[in-house]
Chain A
Amino acid sequence: MTKRQKRMAAVVLLLVGLSVAAVLGFTAFSKNMMYFQTPSDIAAGKLPEGARIRLGGLVEKGSVQRGDGLLVNFSVADCEARLPVRYEGILPDLFREGQGIVATGHMDGRTFVADEVLAKHDENYMPPELAEKLVTPDGKHSCEQFKSMGAKA
């Protein structure tokens, strides 16, 4: 092979390698993509069947119920809808009623089964993606309204 052909061969090899890596990457990406959803998104039925979801919302006041061992049931709500959540494991330090959380898991019938629950390490902190969804069009925070709804429930 001449020098030029060798160089071309190297470039072709590199391109093939890169495209294989890209295909691998994008396949893995689309397989593992998780959608951030709020209870009202789920109520609207927008999600693909069996998808893994990151559920964001506030823990409804008075909804936390302990079961046997580490089993715990609670509701996560936003302004319009609430969703029952089942979780078996240790809740994070900042898990409290009225607190914003993000839970990862999937839907099992009408119940969300979480395998991970995160609450942030700052009392006033709310995940930006959640805060964004809870802000009303006139720029006010809709949590207060929600909390009263939670109290009624």
Chain B
Amino acid sequence: MIPEIGHFLLILALGVAGLQFLLPSWGVWKRDARAMAFGQSAAQVQFALVFLSYLCLTWAFVQKDFSVTYVAANSHSELPLMYRISAVWGAHEGSLLLWMLMLSGWTCAVSVFNRRLPADITATCLAVLGAIAVGFLSFMLLTSNPFDRHFPVPAEGKDLNPLLQDPGLIIHPPMLYMGYVGFSVAFAFAIAALVSGRLDGAWARWTRPWTTTAWLFLTMGITLGSWWAYHELGWGGWWFWDPVENASFMPWLVGTALIHSLAVTEKRGLLKSWTVLLAIIAFSLSLLGTFLVRSGVLVSVHAFATDPARGVYILGFLAVVLGSAFSLYAWRAPQLKSDGDLVFFSREGLLLLNNVFLVVAAAAVLLGTLYPLFVDALGMGKISVGPPYFNAVFIPLTAPLAAILGLGMAVGWKRAKFAEVVRQLRWPAALALLLAAGLPFLWVGSSGFAVFAGVMLGSWVLLTSVHDLWGRVRAKRSLLAGLAAVPRCVWGMTVAHLGLGLWVLGVAFVSLHSVERDVRLAAGESAELHGYEFFLRGVDPVHGPNYDADRGTVEVTREGASVTTLHPEKRLYRAQQNVMTEAAVDESPFRDLYVALGEPFDNGDWSLRMYYKPAMQLVWWGGFVMFFGGILAASDRRYRLAKLAQAPVSADGKVTA
């Protein structure tokens, strides 16, 4: 019964979403205030319906209702409760429902927080979001209904993919989806700007917190995904340039560009049509990501759906959304006039440069991700490009970004004197040089050009951020008073840039100075890695709730002193008879020691994979700090308190133009 209710609620939500698209659009066209206001209540009702429907599916999982096809395919009676709840988004149908829940949640938030905005802007936004909801709800109902039943009812479920039975995976997809879907709000605002023809500082100020919020969730989602891959896949890598990773990374790059161009549009009234274009592209890439991941064109752990009807539907939907958005853009964007001139050596000029680099980097990733698919579709053979391509293109494109970033913060709006900026930044530059020369020796005991450059860029970003903050605080009476006077959005910027700096440092060390060793050991033998002695005491059987495992005990010592004891596992999940590697990691700010069990040999030996990974933690911390910076920036008071001039409404309910 409950699943049928869930299904019915989804159908109702589709109806409401349709009205949410049609009525406010008509209202904007006819300038009818009541029709425009309808969007807000529709958005809230739609959210309630989708949320209840989502609870119905969760209920089916919690109750182990194996008569529901989706539950039977992704759950098991021995699956712990935590994973039964997270299994809702463990495969295609349920993750679409989660996508939809996020979308209606964002829409509902827009309807609540946008009350002070001009009625036609809010109405257009909600209509656009309603149209997207119609697309996704009908996709779900037509091709991927999570509430389908099947008979006869199996006595036991097939279990959740063991790869997904990990705490990191509980929060990774919701975070990522929050980010993906969040860009739909920026997209809706962009369409509203095109439709209304009004794009000013106020518009940028309304759009900024939404974009930053979407971005911070995406940042967290990507970081968690990477963290999960590191711990769960047993290969010791944290980024594989896998098409699915790229699918989430491209919207991130364009979203980052969007955040920066929005700043220029707000402060200087420049780059207006560029900002709108970026908002459209960011959302398009989110949709493209959904298409790539969900249509089965990619070979990956993420690609669940192999039903061609689904791929065709998403591709069609993508074509409709992009076609209409870009047509509207081509028609209306020439009317968006900039309020002045752009000088190259100014903050806005450097931000434009940052945008160019970010977008070109995203384009390079797009090329590497899509080109093999095109070649295959055209029947010209099966090719692929691995990490070497991405590294060769991505690093030269993004290294200048870090250099520009430091300059950009020191350069003022409108125009600046080059000599003055050089004078200001001489200390951070000198210190960065010093760190680049010294730090690699202290940290990993050797150096080279690449790590020198990496540390140079990372510390340059860190030092210029601190220097910028210091410049703001210095003039004040005391340090505390100064720090308190710094606006929260500036804190957000500084913190996010610090996160990037940490991340660059981490990436430089871990990519260039990791040491890997695969060995074959018998119990009681040991192997040496980068000064650490790994002693395999033994491998013993253990039993988990739904798996059996071989659990190794590896004692790590350094110069005779005990460092840690690690317990890597090789798990056999009973339901699907899947083998999973559970790596054991000793984490510290300076280095990770990583051990994974390989395979047993006939004589009882085991193969072991061992890693020494310097500064691995900085990569995660970089991501988390950027996330935190995003929170600070998005929660700045000026976004909330901005009282906005509302279009006067006359007594008969018509908005006067």
Contacts of A31 in B (CB 8 A): 388-389, 392
Chain A binder among B63-71, B83-91, B364-372? B364-372
**Cβ-defined contact, A121 with B385, below 8 A:** no
CB proximity to A under 8 Å, residues B379-419: 381-386, 388-389, 392-393, 396-397
Q: Please, which residues of chain B bring their CB within 8 A of the CB of A88?
A: 518
Q: In the bound complex, what is the Cα–Cα distance between A128 and B376 (angstroms)?
A: 12
Q: Say whether A93 contacts B386, CB under 8 Å.
A: no
Interface pair A32/B299, CB less than 8 Å apart: no
Of B95-103, B217-225, B576-584, which stretch is located at the interface?
A: B576-584
Choose from A35, A91, A94, A95 the contact partner of B382 (Cβ within 8 Å).
A35
Given contacts A28-B393, A29-B371, A91-B598, contact A17 B356 (CB under 8 A): yes
In the complex, what residues of B have CB within 8 A of residue A89's CB?
518
Residues in chain B near residue A54, CB distance under 8 A: 384
A10 touches B344 (CB 8 A): yes
Contact of A34 among B360, B384, B519, B581 (CB under 8 A): B384
User: Which among A104, A120, A121 has the highest number of chain B CB atoms within 10 Å?
Assistant: A121
Enumerate B587-644 residues with CB–CB distance to A below 8 Å.
596, 598-599, 601-602, 607, 609
**B455 → chain A, closest Cβ, in Å?**
24
Cβ 8 A contact of B383, one of A17, A34, A122, A128: A34
B316-350 interface code vs A (CB 8 A; 1 in, 0 out): 00000000000000000000000001101000000
Chain A residue nearest in CB terms to B296 = A128
Assess whether A18 is interfacial by the CB under 8 Å rule: yes
- Measured CB to CB, the nearest residue on chain A to B609 is A90
Closest Cβ–Cβ distance, residue B303 to chain A (whole Å):
9
A70 close to B344 (CB less than 8 A): no
Q: Interface SS of chain A: helix, strand, loop or mixed?
A: mixed
Instruction: Check B383–A36 contact: CB distance below 8 A.
Output: yes
What is the distance, in angstroms, from A29's C-beta to the closest C-beta of chain B? 6
B-chain residues with CB within 8 Å of residue A70 when the two chains form the complex: 518-520, 598, 607
User: Please, what's the 1-or-0 string for A1-43, where 1 marks a CB less than 8 Å from any CB in chain B?
Assistant: 0010000001000100110010011001101111110000000
For A133, the closest partner residue in chain B by CB is: B382
Whose C-beta in chain A lies nearest to the C-beta of B570?
A93
Q: Check: B514 CB closer than 8 A to any chain A CB.
A: no
Inter-chain contact A29/B389, CB cutoff 8 Å:
yes
B22 within 8 A of A: no
Q: Does A127 contact B (CB under 8 A)?
A: yes
- The complex places the Cα of A117 from the Cα of B368 at a distance, in Å, of 22
Q: Which of A44-102 contact B (CB under 8 A)?
A: 54, 66, 69-70, 88-91, 93-95
- Asked if B44 CB lies within 8 Å of chain A CBs, one says no
On chain A, the residues within 8 Å of B367 by CB distance are 25, 29
Provide the residues of chain A in CB contact with B155, threshold 8 Å: none
Q: How far is the CA of A34 from the CA of B390 in the complex (A)?
A: 13
Number of A-B contacts (CB under 8 A): 95
A129 at the interface (CB under 8 A from B): yes
The verdict on A123 contacting chain B, using a C-beta distance below 8 Å, is: yes
CB of A23 to closest CB in B, whole Å: 11
| A91-136 interface with B by 8 A CB criterion | 91, 93-95, 104, 120-123, 127-129
Chain B CB count within 10 A is highest, among A21, A28, A88, A104, for A28
Question: Interface centre among B341, B386, B596, by most A CB within 10 Å?
Answer: B386
Instruction: Give complex CA distance A37, B393 in Å.
Output: 26
A31 → chain B closest CB, angstroms: 8
What separation, in Å, do the CA atoms of A99 and B52 have in the docked complex? 43
Tell me whether B371 and A121 are in contact (CB under 8 A). no
Convert B278-305 into 0s and 1s, putting 1 for each residue whose CB lies closer than 8 angstroms to a CB of A: 0000000000000000001001010000
User: Quick one: which of B161, B368, B382 has the most chain A CB within 10 A?
Assistant: B382
A134 to chain B, nearest CB (A): 13
- Could you tell me if A93 and B393 are in contact, using CB atoms closer than 8 angstroms? no
Cα distance A51–B580 when bound, in Å? 32
Determine the chain B residues whose CB is within 8 A of the CB of A94 once the complex forms.
Answer: 579
Is the pair A32, B580 in contact by a Cβ cutoff of 8 Å? no
Bound CA span A27–B344, Å: 30
Contacts A21-B360, A29-B367: A90 and B607 contacting too (C-beta < 8 A)? yes
Instruction: Please give the distance in Å from B162's CB to the nearest CB on chain A.
Output: 8
Cα distance A44–B88 in the bound complex, in angstroms: 48
A18 to B579, CA, bound (A): 47
Smallest Cβ-Cβ distance to A128: which chain B residue: B299
The verdict on A66 contacting B601 (CB below 8 Å), with A25-B367, A128-B299 known, is yes
Known A28-B393, A36-B383; contact A14-B519, beta-carbon cutoff 8 A = no
B536 to chain A, nearest CB (A): 15
What CA separation (Å) do A17 and B371 show in the bound complex?
22
Residues from chain A with a CB closer than 8 A to the CB of B384 are 33-34, 36, 54
Name the B residues within 8 Å of A28 (CB-CB). Answer: 388-389, 392-393
Cβ-defined contact, B386 with A32, below 8 A: yes
Complex Cα gap A88–B517 (Å) = 11
B231-247 to A contact mask, C-beta < 8 Å, 1/0:
00010000000000000
Q: How many angstroms between the C-alpha atoms of A50 and B74 in the bound complex?
A: 44
Q: Establish whether residues A121 and B578, one from each chain, have CB atoms under 8 Å apart when the complex forms.
A: yes
Cβ-closest chain B residue relative to A46? B381
Which residues of A lie under 8 Å from residue B579 when comparing CB positions? 93-94
B595 to chain A, nearest CB (A): 12
Interface centre among A25, A88, A122 (most CB of B within 10 A): A25
Write the nearest CB–CB distance from A66 to chain B, whole angstroms.
7
B383 adjacent to A90 (CB under 8 Å)? no
In angstroms, how far is the closest chain A Cβ from the Cβ of B584?
15
Which chain B positions have C-beta within 8 A of A29?
367-368, 371, 385, 389, 393
Contact B163 A121 (CB under 8 A): yes
Which residues of chain A are within 8 angstroms of B577 by Cβ–Cβ distance? 123
Q: A24, B396: Cβ atoms under 8 Å? A: yes
CB atoms of A32 and B392 under 8 A apart: yes
Q: Which residues of B contact A35 (CB under 8 A)?
A: 381-383
Q: CA of A70 to CA of B608 in the docked complex: distance in angstroms?
A: 10
Chain A residues with CB under 8 A of B607? 70, 90
* CB pair B299 A127 closer than 8 Å: yes
Q: In the complex, how many angstroms separate the beta carbon of A119 from the nearest chain B beta carbon?
A: 10
CB-based contact B299/A14 at 8 Å? no
State the Cβ distance, A123 to closest chain B Cβ, in Å: 7
Chain A residue contacts of B599, Cβ below 8 A: 90-91, 93, 95
Q: Which residues of A contact B609 (CB under 8 A)?
A: 90
Chain A: residues with CB nearer than 8 A to chain B? 3, 10, 14, 17-18, 21, 24-25, 28-29, 31-36, 54, 66, 69-70, 88-91, 93-95, 104, 120-123, 127-129
30 contacts between A and B (CB under 8 A): A10-B342, A14-B356, A17-B360, A21-B360, A21-B363, A28-B388, A29-B367, A29-B385, A32-B386, A33-B384, A33-B389, A34-B384, A35-B381, A35-B383, A36-B384, A54-B384, A70-B518, A70-B519, A70-B607, A93-B234, A93-B579, A93-B580, A94-B579, A95-B599, A104-B386, A121-B161, A121-B578, A123-B577, A127-B299, A129-B382
Return the 7 tightest CB-CB contacts between A and B, nearest first: A90-B598, A36-B382, A28-B392, A32-B389, A93-B579, A32-B388, A21-B360
Given A31-B388, A32-B386, 4 more pairs with CB closer than 8 A: A29-B389, A88-B518, A90-B609, A93-B599
